[in-house]
Amino acid sequence: MMKRRLLLVAAAVLAGCTQTPLVAQVLQVQQVPPDATPAKPRLVVFIAVDGLPMRQVMGERERFAPDGFRRFLDQGAWFSDAHYSHGYTVTAAGHATMLTGAPPYRSGIIGNEWRNPVTYEPVYNTGDAAYKYIGEETAPLAGTSPRNLKAETVGDVLRRVHPESKVVSVSGKDRGAILPGGHAGTAYMYMSATGHFASSTYYMAKHPQWVDSFNGSGAAEKYFGKTWAPLLAESPAAGWDQPWQNDAGNGRRLPVSVTGGLSAPGPKFYAALLPSPYADALTLEFARAAIAGEQLGAEGRTDILAVSLSGHDYINHSFGPESRMSQEHLLQLDLLLQDFLRDLDQRIGRANYMVLLTADHGFADSPEWSQRQGLDAGRLAPAILNKAMEDALAARFGPGPWLRGMSAMGYLFDEQKISQAGLDRDAVYAVARDAAKTVPGIFTAFTRTELVGTGTKDPVLTAMRKSWDPERAAPLQLVMKPRWLLTSSNRGTSHGTPWEYDQHVPLLGWGPAWLGRGEVKARVEVVDVAPTIAGILSLQLPDRSEGHPLPLPLP
């Protein structure tokens, strides 16, 4: 067995882990005696790039700067076959998985939003009316706390064992900050109406001085009117101004001056920063302020800094990962990462921190682009799907409506109507399922009977079971055909399926003393991240984790 991995596994076992280690092939194995195990890092930096498929990383590898993504690829440990195991691959579900080691059926975060299956009331993944943003307007269903997260993060375990340690999480999205931050960390999220970063009253009554200083410094305003220019003279990517692309607030080609259409900074400008490189630049600036303000990485303890960069998701939704705009954004992001990593070298010390980088989900190419490549792809309007199911239900059970709308990637039913009619609810669900499966664009559908079952060789059913929480999820779950979208829009693209392009994400590490160097070709899962960090820090696994320590290469 691999001694390096055994050290990590043994640390987890001694701390109370009962999971069986994953047996996996690696390129090289560290051969070190236990007494040569490096000290724990002073700072664990976790970076999530929202909406970044692994295929984009590999496609741009030769164009990356030497010390951004290529620091991981050339000097670090990277996992070329890393996947999510759950089927409904969306932002909240991915961010909840990363540092808990728990897929949605265990974390409870089944989607970005869903509806209570009993009351039909909307639920936002980090929504909590008991708490408000500090110094900012709080909209209904705004993300303010981790209450809906059923699992603990590795940061929660760290804080329980070492209360002096700090866990800080920052993001352009509330869910990107709150879910990796866990229950015991502190989350700060970008406010698109003001350009500020704010926490909520779940975490504190008022901001520390360093946050107020950052928000008062004009950090966002300095990007007003800044020109986003292309880095490449030409590219084989899908060009500017494709008919299926949205403008995302900054037009559909570069160069562009980012103003949000305003003559002075205002809410539209602050929102327009998100689908550009500048919200990510601002997020990384705030992360630097957090390092200084909270003295993260101070000698004598281990802290965790989680940073979720949101811009690429906005770009890919509007333009598609196949687009020139997406390519240009990724290259800009690479330069931002290079600056940030070099800054960490100076602030923390190159030998004192480690970094793990992944994404919350991948992305489908725009359906129209896929069609141009000769592939089966398309868009299915929800109204067509609804009608097919309602017609089948009416033909079998009488006039409807029988459906109560969508919840995450599932459908709710009028349970009172079913009960009053004296019907077997599973029979009702089955009729709707069978009707859905006849609709062009639908690959398959599953009812709760199939989702609560055990034992299957169907990888799609296995993935959807990992997305299905019986307390929160709808009793009918749908899976789109590859490259098909369920949408009433004729522009943009999305994610949220169990297919390779949505599940396959980057998993990159740097910190040779703890993670080693080189490519690992064994298939691994994102649920393995939390157990790996726990092993390095000699912590018990988070309570709902089902991952295993990653197989690590030589240092």
Peptide bond preceding 401: is omega within 30 degrees of 0, i.e. cis? yes
Residue 23: which pLDDT band, with cuts at 50, 70 and 90? very low
* Percent of the chain with pLDDT strictly greater than 70: 93
State residue 248's pLDDT score. 86
Q: Are 74 and 57 in contact (CB under 8 A)?
A: no
Mean pLDDT, the chain, as a whole number? 94
State residue 454's pLDDT score. 85
* Among the listed residues 373, 367, 362, 377, the one whose alpha carbon sits nearest the alpha carbon of residue 57: 362
Helix (H) or strand (E) holding 285: helix 277-294
Alpha carbon 541 to chain centroid, angstroms: 21
Phi, then psi, of 138 in degrees rounded to 5: -115, 110
State residue 5's pLDDT score. 42
Please write the tens of the pLDDT for every residue from 35-66.
343 489 999 999 999 999 999 999 999 999 99
Residue 25: which pLDDT band, with cuts at 50, 70 and 90? very low
Please write the tens of the pLDDT for every residue from 341-373.
999 999 999 999 999 999 999 999 999 999 999
* Among the listed residues 144, 178, 145, 185, the one whose alpha carbon sits nearest the alpha carbon of residue 296: 185
* Among the listed residues 497, 432, 499, 428, the one whose alpha carbon sits nearest the alpha carbon of residue 467: 497
410: helix, coil or strand? Answer: strand
Residue 259 CB neighbour total at 10 angstroms: 19
Q: Which two tokens stand for residue 340?
A: 């940030």
Distance CA 92, CA 3 (A): 35
Q: Are 177 and 188 in contact (CB under 8 A)?
A: yes
Q: Are 490 and 378 in contact (CB under 8 A)?
A: no
Q: Which of 26-30, 321-325, 408-412 has the lowest mean pLDDT?
A: 26-30
Q: Quick one: CA dihedral 215, 218, 219, 220, positive or negative?
A: positive
443: helix, coil or strand? Answer: strand
Phi, then psi, of 370 in degrees rounded to 5: -60, -40
| For the chain, counts of helices (H) and of strands (E) | 21, 21
The answer to whether residue 17 scores a pLDDT higher than 70 is no
Mean pLDDT, rounded, for 410-415: 98
Helix (H) or strand (E) holding 256: strand 256-257
77-79 and 518-520 beta bridge pairing? parallel
The answer to whether residue 457 scores a pLDDT higher than 60 is yes
* Percent of the chain with pLDDT strictly greater than 90: 90
State residue 404's pLDDT score. 98
Please write the tens of the pLDDT for every residue from 470-513.
999 999 999 999 999 999 999 999 999 999 999 999 999 999 99
The answer to whether residue 335 scores a pLDDT higher than 60 is yes
Q: Which two tokens stand for residue 124?
A: 């936002």
* Angle ∠(31,33,35) on CA atoms, nearest 5: 145
Q: 418-421: which pairs have CB atoms within 8 A and are 24 or more residues apart?
A: 421/397
Residue 28: which pLDDT band, with cuts at 50, 70 and 90? very low
State residue 32's pLDDT score. 34
Alpha carbon 453 to chain centroid, angstroms: 27
Q: Which two tokens stand for residue 116?
A: 């209570």
Distance CA 152, CA 539 (A): 13
113-115 and 82-83 beta bridge pairing? unpaired
Helix (H) or strand (E) holding 444: strand 442-447
Residue 6: which pLDDT band, with cuts at 50, 70 and 90? very low
Q: Are 483 and 369 in contact (CB under 8 A)?
A: no
Q: Which domains does the chain have, with CATH numbers?
A: 3-368+503-536 (3.40.720.10), 378-481 (3.30.1360.150)
Distance CA 69, CA 309 (A): 14
The answer to whether residue 9 scores a pLDDT higher than 70 is no
* pTM, full prediction: 0.93
The answer to whether residue 26 scores a pLDDT higher than 60 is no
Please write the tens of the pLDDT for every residue from 377-407.
999 999 999 999 999 999 999 999 999 999 9
Please write the tens of the pLDDT for every residue from 239-252.
898 999 998 889 99
Distance CA 155, CA 44 (A): 10
220: helix, coil or strand? Answer: coil
Residue type, 322: E
Q: Which of 234-243, 293-302, 395-404, 461-470 has the lowest mean pLDDT?
A: 234-243
